[in-house]
A and B are shown apart, each in its own frame.
Chain A
Amino acid sequence: MESNRPLYEQVILEHNKSPRNFRTIPDATQKVNGYNPLCGDQLTIYAKMDGDRIDDISFQGCGCAISKSSASLMTTLLKGKTRKEAEELFVKFHTMVTSAPDAPVDKGDLGKLMVFSGVREFPVRIKCATLAWHTMLSLLDKKTEPVSTE
């Protein structure tokens, strides 16, 4: 067995190397900073909202492969989604990564996000995977104060 594949799926490595939407949005309607003080990860999520719809979403910052690829995948999935849809996806993702390693997962619901199911085996990495998502949620709530995992 390739021992590090369960966590570092090819999709994760690829998004880490070439993150999508890794840019600022000059005319963003909102931006929020997220920090993981324990590992020094920090990112900023930018969004341009069209009413309740996410017209554009991007991120910048530095972090480990898990946090960076999670942020990258998240932006690809949320563009064009409504606030409610984004919140629903957050709940599904969060429920999955915080569930027991052997808990059943609804693959249909999560799609590409399934690559993060390996995180469940490594509890200290859950915060890496969810940092961007918590920050995004705060952004949708129109909060401006930084999000911290601690």
Chain B
Amino acid sequence: MTTTVKKRAILDVELIRKDFPVLQLQRYGKPLVYLDNAATSQKPQAVIDALDTYYSSQNSNVHRGVHYLSETATRVYEEARIKVKHFINSPLSCQVIFTRGTTEGINLVAQTYGRKFIGQGDEIIISTMEHHSNIVPWQMLCEEKGAVLRVIPITDDGELMIEEYGKLLNKRTKLVAMGHVSNALGTINPVKQIIDMAHAFHVPVLVDGAQSVGHMHVDVQKLDCDFFVCSGHKMLGPTGIGVLYGKAEHLNAMPPFLGGGDMILSVTFEKTTYNSLPYKFEAGTPNIADAIGLGAAIDYLQQVGMDRIDAYEHELLVYGTDVLQNIDGLRMIGTAREKAAVLSFTLDSAHPHDIGQILDQEGIAIRAGHHCAQPVMQRFGVPATARASLAFYNTKEELDALGRALEKVNEVFA
């Protein structure tokens, strides 16, 4: 009883759920239980409306236009950048670069900062629990430059071995790239500590915030990270929009990523002068509508309150962990002390794919597979896991439904 009262006091979930059209859907005549939030979040009506408003009454290309619509589009696009700046506490809005998503942000840094400052024999440190998008761009860079990728091992609970990280840092280390929260395990990494340790060696750190930014308060200045990348669609925003934050000293020193319109000040066939930040990294017509949609998502998140979201999701994690621990033959993958609301598991009775299929028929959406983190699967000796990942619009009743559906999986495959 007390927990219910506390939940109501923190967040009015029933009211919040009404803002999300997808959450009103049914599957096989049962209410849809959406537990695949680490893959992508659902969108509140406010975000859908922002896209609609833009295309219905503001659509134009941004910058340089002298007509009304272009001025309006430019204003709302740049307002979205300012919203991001405040949301992650970037010192200046010009340090907020719009990308297609986390993957593009990481590739941008690898292909510009990396290609300029990382060379033969240099070392890049990542961890075992990275998403493929924070592994492959660095492998590509290492292959091109003859640099070496070093990997921090993790414990059986899915926690970083910090002392091993300390041993990997040395004067050849040129960059550390680290997930803030593991999508496959839920582990919240001690990024502040990781950054401080790297900075002692004058090594910059990129934080992959794809799984953190819509779920907890993020302050890039407090973290003192050199780069922070995230995706709009995992934080209630549209797909196809993301953010790269960087320290100005790095962004200014980096060559452009893509060449084209908007990223230049002047062009002659003899010499092109690049534009200033952030436009140097935003070649071509940007994704105006989705940036505006991301701005609306941030407004929504801030209305609910990041601290309240964080607290409520933690409550869900504790409750969900309890529910799952009562299921026969269930093995939790990822039991870190500091965890986000991600429940990754296997069942003795059934393959994750079969779990996902039976759950779908109960109206429950989870993900089954390697979650683009094959090294994590190898570390835990499993081909795949089933993963329920939560958001602040999920409820304890939905977690009870998950528990009942998993009992059913056990019955079917008994």
What's the nearest-Cβ distance from chain B to residue A84, in Å? 33
What's the nearest-Cβ distance from chain A to residue B264, in Å? 40
Tell me whether A39 and B369 are in contact in the complex, defined as CB-CB below 8 angstroms, given that A7-B357, A65-B354 are known contacts. yes
> B361 touching A62 by the CB < 8 A rule?
no
B370 CB–A CB distance under 8 Å: yes
Closest A residue by C-beta to B353: A64
In the complex, what residues of A have CB within 8 A of residue B377's CB?
40
Identify A13's interface contact among B352, B368, B413, CB under 8 A. Answer: B413
Tell me whether A4 and B357 are in contact in the complex, defined as CB-CB below 8 angstroms, given that A13-B413, A65-B351 are known contacts. yes
B197 CB–A CB distance under 8 Å: no
A128 CB–B CB distance under 8 Å: yes
Bound complex: CA A23 to CA B213 (Å) = 48
Identify A41's interface contact among B28, B350, B383, CB under 8 A. Answer: B383
B235 CB–A CB distance under 8 Å: no
B412 CB–A CB distance under 8 Å: yes
> B361 touching A3 by the CB < 8 A rule?
yes
B23 CB–A CB distance under 8 Å: no
In the complex, what residues of A have CB within 8 A of residue B368's CB?
39
**Interface residues of A, CB < 8 Å — how many?**
21
What's the nearest-Cβ distance from chain B to residue A140, in Å? 26
Tell me whether A38 and B369 are in contact in the complex, defined as CB-CB below 8 angstroms, given that A4-B358, A64-B351 are known contacts. yes
Tell me whether A39 and B353 are in contact in the complex, defined as CB-CB below 8 angstroms, given that A4-B361, A13-B413, A62-B383 are known contacts. yes
Identify B413's interface contact among A3, A7, A65, A125, CB under 8 A. Answer: A65
A16 CB–B CB distance under 8 Å: yes
Closest B residue by C-beta to A3: B361
Bound complex: CA A38 to CA B377 (Å) = 13
Bound complex: CA A40 to CA B358 (Å) = 19
B384 CB–A CB distance under 8 Å: yes
Bound complex: CA A40 to CA B380 (Å) = 13
A8 CB–B CB distance under 8 Å: yes
Bound complex: CA A16 to CA B377 (Å) = 22
Bound complex: CA A66 to CA B370 (Å) = 18
In the complex, what residues of A have CB within 8 A of residue B351's CB?
39, 62-65, 68
Bound complex: CA A94 to CA B357 (Å) = 21
Bound complex: CA A65 to CA B155 (Å) = 31
What's the nearest-Cβ distance from chain B to residue A133, in Å? 18
Identify A40's interface contact among B28, B361, B370, CB under 8 A. Answer: B370
Contact residues of B between 288 and 338, Cβ < 8 Å to A: none
In the complex, what residues of A have CB within 8 A of residue B361's CB?
3-4
Identify A42's interface contact among B353, B369, B383, CB under 8 A. Answer: B383
Identify B350's interface contact among A38, A42, A65, A125, CB under 8 A. Answer: A65
> A40 touching B384 by the CB < 8 A rule?
yes
Closest B residue by C-beta to A61: B383
In the complex, what residues of A have CB within 8 A of residue B412's CB?
4, 8, 13
> A16 touching B413 by the CB < 8 A rule?
yes
Bound complex: CA A125 to CA B412 (Å) = 18
Contact residues of B between 337 and 385, Cβ < 8 Å to A: 350-354, 357-358, 361, 368-370, 377, 383-384
Bound complex: CA A41 to CA B357 (Å) = 16
Bound complex: CA A66 to CA B351 (Å) = 10
In the complex, what residues of B have CB within 8 A of residue A8's CB?
354, 357-358, 412
> B383 touching A3 by the CB < 8 A rule?
no
What's the nearest-Cβ distance from chain A to residue B370, in Å? 6
Contact residues of A between 41 and 76, Cβ < 8 Å to B: 41-42, 62-66, 68
Closest B residue by C-beta to A40: B383
> A128 touching B413 by the CB < 8 A rule?
no
In the complex, what residues of B have CB within 8 A of residue A65's CB?
350-351, 354, 413
In the complex, what residues of B have CB within 8 A of residue A3's CB?
28, 361
Closest A residue by C-beta to B368: A39
What's the nearest-Cβ distance from chain A to residue B283, in Å? 31
Contact residues of A between 1 and 30, Cβ < 8 Å to B: 3-4, 7-8, 13, 16-17
In the complex, what residues of A have CB within 8 A of residue B28's CB?
3
> B383 touching A122 by the CB < 8 A rule?
no
In the complex, what residues of A have CB within 8 A of residue B383's CB?
39-42, 62-63
What's the nearest-Cβ distance from chain A to residue B229, in Å? 25
What's the nearest-Cβ distance from chain B to residue A71, in Å? 13
What's the nearest-Cβ distance from chain B to residue A125, in Å? 7
What's the nearest-Cβ distance from chain B to residue A124, in Å? 9
Residues of A within 8 A of B (CB): 3-4, 7-8, 13, 16-17, 38-42, 62-66, 68, 122, 125, 128
The 5 A-B residue pairs with the shortest CB-CB distance, nearest first, are A40-B383, A64-B351, A64-B353, A40-B384, A3-B361
A-B contact pairs, 12 of them (CB 8 A): A4-B358, A8-B354, A16-B413, A39-B368, A39-B384, A40-B370, A40-B377, A41-B383, A62-B383, A63-B383, A65-B351, A66-B353
Given contacts A7-B357, A62-B351, A64-B352, 14 further A-B contacts (CB under 8 A): A4-B357, A8-B358, A16-B413, A38-B369, A39-B352, A39-B370, A40-B377, A40-B383, A62-B383, A64-B351, A64-B353, A65-B351, A125-B357, A128-B353
